[in-house]
Structure 1
Amino acid sequence: MNEEKQPIGLLTMTKETKVGVFFGAFYLGLGIMLGAFAAHGLKDTLSVYQMGILQTGVKYQLIHGVALLILGLFCSLYQQRLFYIALICIAVGVGLFSFSLYAIALLGISFLGIITPIGGVFMILGWFITMYAVFRNK
């Protein structure tokens, strides 16, 4: 049986997808660099407490970097504005959350700890918007 295969439609990379892929790749690349730098270059400089704070920031940044790549694809696949809003919430949340933790761990700027939970709220909001977008999708 020599059936001809139909061409697969190419995924259109929308502006929203590009934003998601950009921030996902940026957070992933930077997370790997910071994690490696901390593990190898700062292991004798930072306290266990500081290293834990830094590792928490890196972990959330890496996990959400992958999530931003996926949400960027959802923007192209489903063409729903809600996925883009969720993507922006998560990107902002990761920036606030992780970078405030980096400032606390590396620079000792403890008053920035007030920003960390704001970043967490943005990430949570982004995930709730994602859940809503999935159930709203027809």
Structure 2
Amino acid sequence: MNHARLFLLLGALAGFFAVAFGAFGAHVLQPRLDPHLFSVFNKAVHYQGLHALALLFTGLLLRQAPGAGLRRAGWCFVAGMLLFSGSLYALALTGIRGLGAITPLGGLSFLAGWLLLAIGGWKTGGD
């Protein structure tokens, strides 16, 4: 499987949906949601957008220097977006507070992704 190509595709789609969800939140949800839940929704959009860029960067790095650490970083970013942002979207839209228990798992996935990206980037450094 070409992970670089896959992560570029997933990163671009995640970025697309971050913009779409942000617009949906601003134009449809803001008047309907409690301010706290709207803030939760915006946090999900923010982190999804940031990690869409991280996934794109990972895909570009993988094109230059394929490696298991970079592949793992990409999958951690994907998992983080699904768990972190996904749980926050669900919490904001349903108000079910128990969904917040999933969010830290996504945060840990993001952290693991950044560490793996640092290690993978270091190993591909050249000098």
Q: How does the TM-score come out when normalised to structure 1? A: 0.86
Alpha-carbon separation, structure 2, partners of 1:130 and 1:38 = 31
Q: Percent identity?
A: 33
Deviation by residue 1:4-48 (Cα, 9 ceiling, x = unmatched): xxxxxxxxxx71112111210121111111110110111210011
Structure 1: unaligned runs, 5 residues or longer: 1-13
Query: Which deviates more, 108-117 or 52-61?
Result: 108-117
**1:10 corresponds to:** none
After superposition, where does 1:1-138 map in structure 2 within 5 Å? 15-137=2-124, 138=126
Please give the root-mean-square deviation of Cα atoms over the aligned residues, in Å. Answer: 1.2
1:135: Cα distance to partner? 2.2
SS of corresponding position for 1:105:
helix
Alpha-carbon separation, structure 1, partners of 2:61 and 2:30 = 39
1:134: Cα distance to partner? 2.0
SS of corresponding position for 1:44:
coil
More helix by share: 2
1:104: Cα distance to partner? 0.5
Q: How does the TM-score come out when normalised to structure 2? A: 0.93
